[in-house]
Amino acid sequence: MSSASIALGGNIVFFTLFAAVGIVASAVGLTLKTQRREHALWVILGIPRNRVRRILRTELMVLGTIAGALAVPLAPLVAGIALDQWTATGLDLHGATVGFELWHVGVAVLFGVVPCLLGGWGVTRRAAKTPEMRAFRDLSDPPARPGAARSVLALCLLAGVVGMWIPGLGLELEGGVEQRTAFAFAGDLFLICLALLMGPWVLTPLMKLWTALVPSRSITWHLAVQSCRARAARSVTTVLPFALSLSFVGLFMVMGNVMPGSTAGLGDVMVVLGWVFVVSWVGGLAVIALVGRERTRDSAVVTVAGARPGVVTRSTIYEGAIYAGTAILFGAISIAVTSVTIAAGARISVARVLNGLPWETLGALAAVTLLTTCLALALQAARTSRTVAARVLRS
Amino acid sequence: MLHAIDLDVPESRLTAVVGPSGSGKSTLLLCTAGLERATTGSIEILGTDILSLSPRRQAAFRSEKVGFIFQEYNLVSSLSVEDNISLPARLAGHRVPKPRVDDAMTRLGIAKHARRRPDRLSGGERQRVAVARVVANQPRIVFADEPTGALDLKSGHVVLDWLQALPAQGTTVLMVTHDPHAAARADQVVVMGSGRIHAVIPGGDSRAVSDAVLAAQSVDEAGDEAA
């Protein structure tokens, strides 16, 4: 039982950290990108380029340190809730209690600084390299290609997918079906991580594909689609957190449905993924709020051009639906792939896996995702509708 | 703040509004266009009292009859050049014929950028897109707020050439500018100061425009000192 607790604890820490690092890094990257005009101004005013880069990286370290330090007093609270949750699920915690030691501060600061630097490193390099007038005039950079670090990590994850799928799907193992299924599960996990790591080249085409299939000619939909595509070309952070949480939930539900003695209930899955959800949702909504300034200006142009009342609001809400729709579609594809692979590993039919899934729960999660993103954007639209378009365009 | 403005903008003519900073030029333009709400008085455009229109009718009126060119931020950042050009017509519920959009882009020299988004264009190119939008949609009246303020000399001339050519197609143009040379290209020039109209003079002479603006500024400063 204690090994189960350790495994569960390890899983929770791994998934929560994975989600937090991914979301914080992409949010930091996006924030720096939105400030590129100010950074260009620094260069124009005579600050040397390498000093701009140093200042920005120092900023990131300070930000990460403050975030880590702020996390220290919150950590015992979160740990307490997690331990209560585990106890409620019947796990033997061997008298584990919440404690504090000095090195916890160092670890917290480290986990604050690392994602900030990861997300901001490339952007600060570009901020110092891009011709200042190009950035100052808000001219966009050419589409980014995967950098060296991302490519290496992607190759490692791909190796993980192949390495896990070969024994899981193709070999007869001593551990039998359970071991094969576990390998297939691990391969799927690597695959989802790989797809999320390559988000700009996976989520953006997915968004373009499904929105192109919607047979609407309305201007509100057209504005929303173009807005989502333009923003996704720069950052997929608005979709990534929701795609991450939904695909993980799907994977765990498929696994819980197949493994003997496991369950696919939301409560059980949430024991592992509850904090991932919290991190993803908060991160996703924060990022949606981050791109508000540009959206406000675009809305003002559309209003001045003669948009009837409600057009801008509807189009903004549709944007939320597109972000959520892309995440839901990614989650659905993840469930389809994991169902096929885990069914192959467990030597059962795909239909049996699909029949056993809690579709009502999955549907409810999809609906909550849709509602949350639409609501976040509806609030933004309400704020925008109170501004005077002409003043926005002259500010 | 505007005071006691009584202005008649002649149809199918280019009218420039000049004056010192803070004299109310842009406020006058935005009130006239219905983008800022005037607290009292009436504003009639093409025989329609725009203050009496509901927000829905005002929006419809703008998309069908009015064109805008601002100093910056004229374009929706997420739409391509051709989408930006056809936006007012689409908001009005119909489409600008594609040949007309292509023709406007060709005439403004931006046809090769048709599929690009504004963030891939220079300031001059962005402003040409705004002018192409006016050319393609053929609004009855165009409001231009410092349309050449952020442009180099050559791009500024291109924009002014087009604004000057629009009245020949039956379009009325009301342009706010700081530049006496740009204002001199108008048929009539309205000189403002402290929210009032100081003078309305004929266009054609940039020196006369400069002198009128300086005179308005002197009157304003004398008024400030007396207060």
pLDDT in tens, A84-139: 877 777 767 677 778 888 888 999 999 899 989 988 888 888 777 777 666 666 65
> Are A108 and A254 part of one and the same domain?
no
A385 touching B (Cβ < 8 Å): no
The answer to whether the predicted template modeling score (pTM) of the entire model surpasses 0.90 is: no
Alpha-carbon distance B166 to B155, whole Å? Answer: 17
Residues of A in contact with B56 (CB under 8 A): 308-309
Final residue in a domain of this structure, among A137, A152, A179:
A137
Final residue in a domain of this structure, among A118, A137, A156:
A137
Alpha-carbon distance B107 to B115, whole Å? Answer: 16
Which residues have C-beta within 8 Å of that of residue A50, sequence separation ≥ 6?
Answer: A128
Domain count, chain A: 2
Q: What percent of chain A shows pLDDT beyond 90?
A: 26
Which residues of chain A from 229 to 268 reach within 8 Å of chain B, CB to CB?
229-231
> Are A42 and A127 part of one and the same domain?
yes
Domain carrying residue A2:
1-137
A94 DSSP assignment = T
Contact B77, A230 (CB under 8 A): yes
Alpha-carbon distance A253 to A192, whole Å? Answer: 14
User: Within a domain: residue A358?
Assistant: yes
Cα(first)–Cα(last) distance of chain A, in Å?
Answer: 63
Alpha-carbon distance B183 to A5, whole Å? Answer: 79
Nearest to B74 among A230, A301, A311 (CB): A301
Asked if the interface predicted TM-score (ipTM) of this complex is over 0.95, the answer is no
A169 DSSP assignment = I
pLDDT in tens, A346-357: 888 899 889 888
Q: Can you give the pLDDT at residue B13?
A: 95
Residues of B in contact with A309 (CB under 8 A): 55-56, 59
User: Within a domain: residue A154?
Assistant: no
* Residue A1 confidence (pLDDT) above 70: no
Mutate to test the interface with A, among B58, B76, B125 (most CBs of A within 10 A): B76
User: Within a domain: residue A184?
Assistant: no
> Are A130 and A220 part of one and the same domain?
no
Q: Do A389 and B35 touch (CB under 8 A)?
A: yes
Q: Do B35 and A304 touch (CB under 8 A)?
A: yes
User: Within a domain: residue A18?
Assistant: yes
Alpha-carbon distance A65 to A31, whole Å? Answer: 17
H/E element, B158: helix B153-165
Closest approach of A100 to chain B, Cα-based (Å): 50
pLDDT in tens, A188-227: 989 998 998 888 889 999 999 999 999 988 999 999 999 9
Closest C-alpha to B76, from B138, B13, B121, B110: B121
Spans of all domains in chain B: 14-72+140-226
> Does the B14-72+140-226 domain belong in CATH 3.40.640.10?
no
Residues of B in contact with A312 (CB under 8 A): none
Looking up tokens 């006058």, which residue turns up? B28
Mutate to test the interface with A, among B70, B91, B138 (most CBs of A within 10 A): B91
Final residue in a domain of this structure, among A117, A137, A157:
A137
User: Within a domain: residue A102?
Assistant: yes
User: Within a domain: residue A203?
Assistant: yes
Residues of B in contact with A306 (CB under 8 A): 59-64, 66, 88, 91-92
